Amino acid sequence: MDKNTIDKIKFPDIIEQKKLRDAKRTFTIKRGGENKMKRRILTGDRPTGPLHLGHYVGSLENRIKFQDEYDCFFIIADYQVLTDHIKETAKTEKYIREIVLDYLSVGIDPEKSTIFIQSLIPEIAELTMYFSMIVTLARLQRNPTVKKEVRTAKISEISYGFFGYPISQAADILSVRADLIPVGEDQLAHIEQTREIARTFNRLFGKTFPVPEGLVGRVPRLVGLDGQKMSKSQNNAIFLSDSPKTVQRKINIAITDPARIHPTDIGHPNICNIFQYYKTFNPEECKEIEDNCKKGKIGCVACKKKLSEVINKFLKPIREKRRYYDGQEKLIKTILETGNEKTQREAKKTIKLAREAMHFDYKKLL
Ligand code: TRP
Protein backbone atom coordinates (compact mmCIF):
# COMPACT_ATOMS: atom_id res chain seq x y z
CA MET A 1 0.00 0.00 0.00
CA ASP A 2 1.47 3.38 -0.87
CA LYS A 3 1.54 6.24 1.61
CA ASN A 4 -1.34 8.16 0.08
CA THR A 5 -3.61 5.16 0.46
CA ILE A 6 -2.62 4.79 4.09
CA ASP A 7 -3.29 8.48 4.68
CA LYS A 8 -6.72 8.24 3.12
CA ILE A 9 -7.72 5.48 5.49
CA LYS A 10 -6.50 7.25 8.57
CA PHE A 11 -7.56 10.83 7.88
CA PRO A 12 -10.33 10.76 5.29
CA ASP A 13 -11.71 14.17 6.21
CA ILE A 14 -8.56 16.20 6.16
CA ILE A 15 -6.40 14.57 3.59
CA GLU A 16 -7.81 16.01 0.40
CA GLN A 17 -7.47 19.64 1.46
CA LYS A 18 -4.03 18.96 2.79
CA LYS A 19 -2.76 17.47 -0.41
CA LEU A 20 -3.54 20.68 -2.20
CA ARG A 21 -2.13 22.88 0.47
CA ASP A 22 1.04 20.92 0.81
CA ALA A 23 1.72 20.54 -2.86
CA LYS A 24 4.48 23.09 -2.68
CA ARG A 25 6.07 21.81 0.50
CA THR A 26 9.67 20.90 0.07
CA PHE A 27 10.26 19.09 3.32
CA THR A 28 11.13 15.47 2.62
CA ILE A 29 11.97 12.39 4.59
CA LYS A 30 13.53 9.10 3.83
CA ARG A 31 10.92 6.38 3.74
CA GLY A 32 11.80 2.98 2.36
CA GLY A 33 14.73 4.50 0.54
CA GLU A 34 12.63 7.11 -1.25
CA ASN A 35 12.11 10.75 -0.46
CA LYS A 36 8.48 11.44 0.37
CA MET A 37 6.71 14.57 1.54
CA LYS A 38 5.94 14.64 5.22
CA ARG A 39 3.45 16.98 6.83
CA ARG A 40 4.06 18.62 10.16
CA ILE A 41 2.45 18.56 13.58
CA LEU A 42 3.03 21.16 16.25
CA THR A 43 1.39 21.07 19.63
CA GLY A 44 2.43 21.35 23.23
CA ASP A 45 1.85 22.33 26.81
CA ARG A 46 2.40 25.05 29.34
CA PRO A 47 4.90 24.16 32.07
CA THR A 48 2.58 25.08 34.93
CA GLY A 49 2.26 21.55 36.32
CA PRO A 50 2.49 17.90 35.39
CA LEU A 51 0.28 16.42 32.66
CA HIS A 52 -2.87 14.47 33.52
CA LEU A 53 -5.27 11.93 32.05
CA GLY A 54 -7.20 14.70 30.29
CA HIS A 55 -4.06 15.63 28.36
CA TYR A 56 -3.57 12.00 27.50
CA VAL A 57 -6.94 11.37 25.88
CA GLY A 58 -7.27 14.90 24.50
CA SER A 59 -3.93 15.20 22.76
CA LEU A 60 -1.03 12.94 23.81
CA GLU A 61 -2.66 9.84 22.40
CA ASN A 62 -2.90 11.44 18.97
CA ARG A 63 0.68 12.66 19.15
CA ILE A 64 1.93 9.14 19.75
CA LYS A 65 -0.28 7.75 17.01
CA PHE A 66 0.95 10.22 14.40
CA GLN A 67 4.63 10.42 15.17
CA ASP A 68 5.57 8.14 12.28
CA GLU A 69 3.41 9.79 9.64
CA TYR A 70 4.16 13.37 10.61
CA ASP A 71 7.23 15.38 11.41
CA CYS A 72 6.29 16.29 14.99
CA PHE A 73 7.26 19.34 17.04
CA PHE A 74 6.23 19.48 20.69
CA ILE A 75 6.51 22.87 22.33
CA ILE A 76 6.92 23.49 26.04
CA ALA A 77 5.32 26.91 26.11
CA ASP A 78 7.07 28.82 28.88
CA TYR A 79 6.00 32.27 27.63
CA GLN A 80 2.47 31.19 28.48
CA VAL A 81 3.45 30.75 32.15
CA LEU A 82 3.71 34.52 32.24
CA THR A 83 0.05 35.01 31.29
CA ASP A 84 -1.59 33.91 34.54
CA HIS A 85 1.19 32.28 36.60
CA ILE A 86 3.68 35.13 36.61
CA LYS A 87 4.43 34.77 40.33
CA GLU A 88 5.31 31.10 39.93
CA THR A 89 8.15 31.29 37.45
CA ALA A 90 10.55 29.79 40.01
CA LYS A 91 8.83 26.46 39.37
CA THR A 92 8.98 26.64 35.58
CA GLU A 93 12.26 24.78 35.17
CA LYS A 94 11.06 21.93 37.37
CA TYR A 95 7.81 21.66 35.39
CA ILE A 96 9.62 21.71 32.04
CA ARG A 97 11.55 18.66 33.22
CA GLU A 98 8.34 16.99 34.43
CA ILE A 99 6.69 17.57 31.06
CA VAL A 100 9.64 16.14 29.17
CA LEU A 101 9.39 13.06 31.42
CA ASP A 102 5.61 12.93 30.83
CA TYR A 103 6.19 13.01 27.07
CA LEU A 104 8.85 10.32 27.14
CA SER A 105 6.91 8.10 29.51
CA VAL A 106 3.76 8.02 27.34
CA GLY A 107 5.81 6.99 24.32
CA ILE A 108 6.85 10.16 22.55
CA ASP A 109 10.04 9.01 20.90
CA PRO A 110 12.83 11.59 20.90
CA GLU A 111 14.40 9.83 17.90
CA LYS A 112 11.31 10.64 15.86
CA SER A 113 9.85 13.77 17.42
CA THR A 114 11.25 17.15 18.35
CA ILE A 115 10.73 18.56 21.85
CA PHE A 116 11.70 22.19 22.41
CA ILE A 117 11.33 25.17 24.75
CA GLN A 118 9.38 28.13 23.36
CA SER A 119 11.38 31.00 24.83
CA LEU A 120 14.65 29.60 23.48
CA ILE A 121 13.44 30.18 19.93
CA PRO A 122 13.53 34.00 19.60
CA GLU A 123 12.14 33.70 16.06
CA ILE A 124 8.78 32.86 17.67
CA ALA A 125 8.81 36.22 19.45
CA GLU A 126 9.70 37.94 16.19
CA LEU A 127 6.83 36.25 14.37
CA THR A 128 4.49 37.20 17.22
CA MET A 129 5.40 40.83 16.60
CA TYR A 130 4.53 40.63 12.90
CA PHE A 131 1.29 38.78 13.57
CA SER A 132 0.26 41.25 16.27
CA MET A 133 -0.14 43.85 13.53
CA ILE A 134 -2.74 41.84 11.65
CA VAL A 135 -5.08 40.94 14.51
CA THR A 136 -7.62 43.44 15.78
CA LEU A 137 -8.20 44.10 19.44
CA ALA A 138 -11.88 43.24 18.98
CA ARG A 139 -10.96 39.82 17.58
CA LEU A 140 -8.75 39.08 20.59
CA GLN A 141 -11.50 40.10 22.96
CA ARG A 142 -13.88 37.65 21.30
CA ASN A 143 -11.69 34.55 21.86
CA PRO A 144 -13.91 32.36 24.09
CA THR A 145 -11.04 30.43 25.69
CA VAL A 146 -9.23 33.61 26.70
CA LYS A 147 -12.50 35.04 28.02
CA LYS A 148 -13.02 32.02 30.23
CA GLU A 149 -9.43 32.09 31.45
CA VAL A 150 -9.64 35.78 32.23
CA ARG A 151 -12.71 35.07 34.35
CA THR A 152 -11.02 32.27 36.32
CA ALA A 153 -7.54 33.81 36.64
CA LYS A 154 -6.87 34.91 40.19
CA ILE A 155 -5.37 38.20 39.09
CA SER A 156 -6.93 41.62 39.18
CA GLU A 157 -5.47 43.12 36.02
CA ILE A 158 -5.10 41.36 32.70
CA SER A 159 -1.88 42.10 30.84
CA TYR A 160 -1.57 42.91 27.16
CA GLY A 161 0.42 39.66 26.79
CA PHE A 162 -2.33 37.58 28.38
CA PHE A 163 -4.93 38.94 25.98
CA GLY A 164 -2.54 38.52 23.12
CA TYR A 165 -1.25 35.03 23.84
CA PRO A 166 -3.31 33.43 21.03
CA ILE A 167 -1.11 35.47 18.68
CA SER A 168 1.98 34.04 20.28
CA GLN A 169 0.42 30.57 19.98
CA ALA A 170 -0.21 31.19 16.28
CA ALA A 171 3.48 32.07 16.01
CA ASP A 172 4.38 28.79 17.75
CA ILE A 173 2.37 26.85 15.21
CA LEU A 174 3.38 28.81 12.13
CA SER A 175 7.05 29.14 13.09
CA VAL A 176 7.52 25.61 11.74
CA ARG A 177 4.66 25.97 9.22
CA ALA A 178 2.70 23.13 10.86
CA ASP A 179 -0.34 21.55 9.23
CA LEU A 180 -1.99 19.63 12.03
CA ILE A 181 -2.49 20.53 15.69
CA PRO A 182 -3.65 17.74 18.03
CA VAL A 183 -5.25 19.52 21.00
CA GLY A 184 -7.92 19.38 23.67
CA GLU A 185 -11.24 20.99 22.83
CA ASP A 186 -10.47 24.21 24.75
CA GLN A 187 -7.64 25.00 22.32
CA LEU A 188 -9.78 25.01 19.18
CA ALA A 189 -10.49 28.72 19.58
CA HIS A 190 -6.75 29.37 19.28
CA ILE A 191 -6.44 27.15 16.22
CA GLU A 192 -9.26 29.11 14.59
CA GLN A 193 -7.41 32.33 15.33
CA THR A 194 -4.19 30.85 13.93
CA ARG A 195 -6.00 29.96 10.72
CA GLU A 196 -7.28 33.51 10.38
CA ILE A 197 -3.80 34.91 10.96
CA ALA A 198 -2.31 32.59 8.32
CA ARG A 199 -5.01 33.56 5.81
CA THR A 200 -4.66 37.27 6.50
CA PHE A 201 -0.89 37.17 6.19
CA ASN A 202 -1.14 35.19 2.95
CA ARG A 203 -3.70 37.61 1.55
CA LEU A 204 -1.60 40.64 2.42
CA PHE A 205 1.83 39.34 1.45
CA GLY A 206 1.36 36.27 -0.74
CA LYS A 207 1.14 32.61 0.20
CA THR A 208 3.63 32.00 2.98
CA PHE A 209 1.88 29.88 5.61
CA PRO A 210 -0.25 26.72 5.58
CA VAL A 211 -3.70 27.10 7.16
CA PRO A 212 -3.45 24.44 9.88
CA GLU A 213 -6.19 22.15 11.15
CA GLY A 214 -6.99 21.27 14.77
CA LEU A 215 -7.47 17.64 15.71
CA VAL A 216 -9.32 16.80 18.93
CA GLY A 217 -8.72 13.45 20.65
CA ARG A 218 -11.19 10.62 21.19
CA VAL A 219 -12.33 12.25 24.46
CA PRO A 220 -12.34 15.99 23.79
CA ARG A 221 -12.99 16.93 27.38
CA LEU A 222 -12.38 14.54 30.25
CA VAL A 223 -14.09 15.77 33.42
CA GLY A 224 -12.16 16.17 36.64
CA LEU A 225 -12.90 14.07 39.72
CA ASP A 226 -15.23 16.80 40.97
CA GLY A 227 -17.20 17.03 37.74
CA GLN A 228 -15.52 20.31 36.71
CA LYS A 229 -12.99 20.74 33.88
CA MET A 230 -9.92 18.65 34.67
CA SER A 231 -7.19 21.12 35.39
CA LYS A 232 -3.67 21.18 36.80
CA SER A 233 -4.67 23.94 39.16
CA GLN A 234 -8.12 22.75 40.33
CA ASN A 235 -6.96 19.78 42.42
CA ASN A 236 -9.26 17.45 40.51
CA ALA A 237 -6.82 15.72 38.17
CA ILE A 238 -5.12 12.33 38.05
CA PHE A 239 -1.57 12.98 36.90
CA LEU A 240 0.33 10.61 34.65
CA SER A 241 3.02 10.62 37.33
CA ASP A 242 0.70 9.79 40.27
CA SER A 243 1.58 6.72 42.34
CA PRO A 244 -0.90 3.82 42.59
CA LYS A 245 -1.79 4.90 46.15
CA THR A 246 -2.44 8.49 45.08
CA VAL A 247 -4.69 7.33 42.26
CA GLN A 248 -6.66 5.20 44.71
CA ARG A 249 -6.99 8.05 47.21
CA LYS A 250 -8.10 10.55 44.57
CA ILE A 251 -10.70 8.21 43.12
CA ASN A 252 -11.99 7.34 46.61
CA ILE A 253 -12.94 10.93 47.30
CA ALA A 254 -14.31 11.65 43.81
CA ILE A 255 -17.87 12.87 43.47
CA THR A 256 -20.33 10.34 42.04
CA ASP A 257 -24.11 10.35 41.58
CA PRO A 258 -25.31 12.56 44.46
CA ALA A 259 -28.67 10.73 44.59
CA ARG A 260 -26.99 7.54 45.77
CA ILE A 261 -26.57 7.10 49.49
CA HIS A 262 -26.75 3.33 49.96
CA PRO A 263 -25.00 0.87 47.65
CA THR A 264 -28.40 -0.63 46.78
CA ASP A 265 -29.89 2.72 45.65
CA ILE A 266 -30.62 3.00 41.93
CA GLY A 267 -27.70 4.79 40.23
CA HIS A 268 -27.54 7.23 37.31
CA PRO A 269 -24.30 6.46 35.45
CA ASN A 270 -24.94 9.14 32.83
CA ILE A 271 -24.34 11.88 35.41
CA CYS A 272 -21.55 10.08 37.31
CA ASN A 273 -17.90 11.17 36.90
CA ILE A 274 -16.59 7.73 37.68
CA PHE A 275 -18.68 6.27 34.90
CA GLN A 276 -17.17 8.73 32.42
CA TYR A 277 -13.79 7.28 33.31
CA TYR A 278 -15.03 3.74 32.72
CA LYS A 279 -16.23 4.76 29.29
CA THR A 280 -12.82 6.20 28.51
CA PHE A 281 -10.47 3.71 30.11
CA ASN A 282 -12.45 0.47 30.28
CA PRO A 283 -14.98 0.45 27.44
CA GLU A 284 -15.16 -3.38 27.54
CA GLU A 285 -16.68 -3.52 31.01
CA CYS A 286 -18.65 -0.35 30.64
CA LYS A 287 -22.00 -1.94 29.79
CA GLU A 288 -21.88 -4.32 32.72
CA ILE A 289 -21.05 -1.53 35.19
CA GLU A 290 -23.81 0.62 33.75
CA ASP A 291 -26.42 -2.12 34.17
CA ASN A 292 -25.30 -3.02 37.66
CA CYS A 293 -25.27 0.61 38.77
CA LYS A 294 -28.75 1.25 37.38
CA LYS A 295 -30.07 -1.79 39.21
CA GLY A 296 -28.33 -0.91 42.47
CA LYS A 297 -26.22 -4.05 42.22
CA ILE A 298 -22.84 -2.35 42.60
CA GLY A 299 -22.15 0.41 45.12
CA CYS A 300 -19.93 3.44 44.57
CA VAL A 301 -17.21 2.15 46.88
CA ALA A 302 -16.82 -1.10 44.96
CA CYS A 303 -17.10 0.71 41.65
CA LYS A 304 -14.36 3.14 42.64
CA LYS A 305 -12.09 0.34 43.81
CA LYS A 306 -12.45 -1.32 40.43
CA LEU A 307 -11.79 1.95 38.61
CA SER A 308 -8.60 2.53 40.62
CA GLU A 309 -7.40 -0.85 39.39
CA VAL A 310 -8.29 0.03 35.81
CA ILE A 311 -6.46 3.36 35.93
CA ASN A 312 -3.45 1.88 37.68
CA LYS A 313 -3.24 -0.83 35.04
CA PHE A 314 -3.37 1.85 32.35
CA LEU A 315 -0.64 3.88 34.08
CA LYS A 316 1.66 0.92 34.78
CA PRO A 317 3.66 0.95 31.52
CA ILE A 318 3.78 4.77 31.67
CA ARG A 319 5.28 4.58 35.18
CA GLU A 320 7.81 2.02 34.02
CA LYS A 321 9.01 4.19 31.16
CA ARG A 322 9.18 7.16 33.48
CA ARG A 323 11.38 5.24 35.89
CA TYR A 324 13.69 4.47 32.99
CA TYR A 325 14.12 8.11 31.97
CA ASP A 326 13.97 9.71 35.44
CA GLY A 327 17.49 10.56 36.55
CA GLN A 328 18.96 10.47 33.04
CA GLU A 329 19.62 14.20 33.18
CA LYS A 330 22.23 14.15 30.42
CA LEU A 331 19.82 12.48 28.05
CA ILE A 332 17.03 14.95 28.88
CA LYS A 333 19.45 17.82 28.24
CA THR A 334 20.49 16.35 24.89
CA ILE A 335 16.87 15.82 23.84
CA LEU A 336 16.05 19.47 24.57
CA GLU A 337 19.22 20.85 22.99
CA THR A 338 18.68 18.84 19.83
CA GLY A 339 15.03 19.82 19.75
CA ASN A 340 15.75 23.51 20.22
CA GLU A 341 18.36 23.45 17.46
CA LYS A 342 16.15 21.69 14.96
CA THR A 343 13.19 23.97 15.69
CA GLN A 344 15.32 27.08 15.45
CA ARG A 345 16.64 25.99 12.07
CA GLU A 346 13.08 25.67 10.80
CA ALA A 347 11.93 28.89 12.45
CA LYS A 348 14.81 30.79 10.83
CA LYS A 349 13.65 29.55 7.42
CA THR A 350 10.13 30.72 8.24
CA ILE A 351 11.30 34.15 9.31
CA LYS A 352 13.26 34.47 6.08
CA LEU A 353 10.15 33.60 4.06
CA ALA A 354 7.96 35.97 6.08
CA ARG A 355 10.41 38.87 5.83
CA GLU A 356 10.81 38.39 2.10
CA ALA A 357 7.04 38.29 1.70
CA MET A 358 6.72 41.53 3.68
CA HIS A 359 9.44 43.19 1.57
CA PHE A 360 11.57 43.43 4.68
CA ASP A 361 14.55 41.69 3.18
CA TYR A 362 16.22 45.02 2.19
CA LYS A 363 18.41 43.42 -0.45
CA LYS A 364 19.23 46.66 -2.25
CA LEU A 365 20.07 48.58 0.87
CA LEU A 366 22.27 46.06 2.62
N1 TRP B 1 -2.12 26.81 25.15
C2 TRP B 1 -1.76 25.41 25.17
C3 TRP B 1 -2.27 24.81 26.48
O4 TRP B 1 -2.51 25.52 27.43
C5 TRP B 1 -0.26 25.18 25.05
C6 TRP B 1 0.31 25.62 23.72
C7 TRP B 1 1.23 26.62 23.52
C8 TRP B 1 0.02 25.08 22.44
N9 TRP B 1 1.52 26.76 22.22
C10 TRP B 1 0.82 25.83 21.52
C11 TRP B 1 -0.83 24.07 21.99
C12 TRP B 1 0.74 25.58 20.14
C13 TRP B 1 -0.90 23.83 20.61
C14 TRP B 1 -0.11 24.57 19.72
O15 TRP B 1 -2.41 23.62 26.56
Give the percent of the chain with pLDDT over 90.
78
Is the pLDDT score of 28 beyond 60?
no
Per-residue DSSP letters for 141-157? HT-HHHHHHHHH-S-SS
The sign of the torsion formed by the CA atoms of 63, 66, 68, 71 equals negative
46 lines ligand 1 (CB under 6 A): yes
Average pLDDT for the chain: 90
Question: What pLDDT, in 10s, does the model give residues 126-143?
Answer: 999 999 999 999 999 999
The backbone torsions φ and ψ at residue 158, rounded to the nearest 5 degrees and listed phi first, read -95, 130
Q: How far apart are CA 356 and CA 206, in angstroms?
A: 10
Ligand 1 center to 23 CA (angstroms): 27
Q: Poorest-confidence range of 71-85, 118-132, 243-257, 259-273?
A: 259-273
Looking at ligand 1, which residue's alpha carbon is closest to its atom 3? 45
Percent of the chain with pLDDT over 70: 90
pLDDT digits (tens, 9 = 90+) for 311-363: 999 999 999 999 999 999 999 999 999 999 999 999 999 999 999 999 999 99
Categorize the per-residue pLDDT at 235 as very low, low, confident or very high, splitting at 50, 70 and 90. Answer: confident
List, for residues 72-117, the tens digit of each pLDDT value: 999 999 999 999 999 999 999 999 999 999 999 999 999 999 999 9
> How far is it, in rounded angstroms, from Cα 148 to Cα 288?
37
Q: Does residue 84's CB lie within 6 angstroms of at least one atom of ligand 1?
A: no
pTM: 0.89
**What is the spatial distance between Cα 156 and Cα 84, in angstroms, rounded to a whole number?**
10
Cβ contact 140:164 at 8 Å: yes
User: Is 80 a pocket residue for ligand 1 (Cβ < 6 Å)?
Assistant: yes
* Higher per-residue pLDDT: 255 or 332: 332
> What is the predicted pLDDT for the residue at 155?
78
> Is there a contact between 118 and 172 (Cβ–Cβ < 8 Å)?
yes
